[in-house]
Amino acid sequence: FCSLFLLGSSQRLAAADSIPVTAAIAVIQHTAGNETAGIVTFTATEGGVKVVADITGLAPGKHGFHIHEFGDISDSVKAMSSGGHFDPASTHQHALIPANHNVAGHHAGDMGNLVADGAGKAHLEMMLDGVTLMGPVNSIVGRAVIVHAKPDDGGQPTGNAGDRVGEGVIGIAKAK
């Protein structure tokens, strides 16, 4: 009787472990003194994770755009609690995406630049490889999207992108 109970509970655990996560979302809010806002969605596809970003309240031009290690936005002033670029493979190497997309072994969280128009709006669609929405190592769920004040120029260690003007935690979304 006891072993049957244990079997039942382990089956429930296995079932819970296998619920697929195919969509995630980060709602971007501004840090102190900024007006950045918007939505970033992540969708699991056969070719990787598709990223679609719509951001407003930016200065016209390029803004570094990254996944950072921690989904901790308790520092609402400067967003430093989100840590550095998500780097599950411990490459310690930054790359400008997509120009250096084939640089071997860069931070998985490197997403290049948003490009804001004269009205301060940016739209970006890209495929992000090296990350997943599930699993213990490469999953970006629970981590943070950061929008920077300056362009990501590809320099080490983080692209010289300056202050963090927007931040959002990546959470599980309803599958589409």
Residue 94 near Zn ion by CB under 5 A? yes
Binding mask 66-105 for Cu ion (x = CB under 5 A): x---------------------------------------
| All residues at 6 or more sequence positions from 16 whose CB lies less than 8 Å from its CB, including other chains | none
**Cα distance between residue 154 and residue 156, in whole Å:** 7
Report in angstroms how near the CB of residue 91 gets to Zn ion at its nearest.
Answer: 9
Residues contacting residue 164 through CB under 8 Å, at least 6 positions apart: 31, 78, 79, 80, 82, 146, 147, 148, 149
- The residue from 146, 147, 165, 169 that contacts Cu ion (CB under 5 A) is 146
107, interface contact from Zn ion, Cu ion, none, CB < 5-8 Å by kind? Zn ion
Question: With contact defined as beta carbons under 8 Å apart, do 160 and 62 qualify?
Answer: no
| Choices 31-39, 42-50, 94-102, 146-154; region in contact with Cu ion by CB under 5 A | 146-154
Quick one: tokens of 4? 């049957």
Q: How many residues bind Zn ion (CB under 5 A)?
A: 4
Residues 101-130 that bind Zn ion (CB under 5 A): 107, 110
Cβ–Cβ < 8 Å for 173, 40? no
Tell me how far, at minimum, the Cβ of 85 lies from Cu ion, in Å.
6
Q: Which residues bind Cu ion (CB under 5 A)?
A: 66, 146
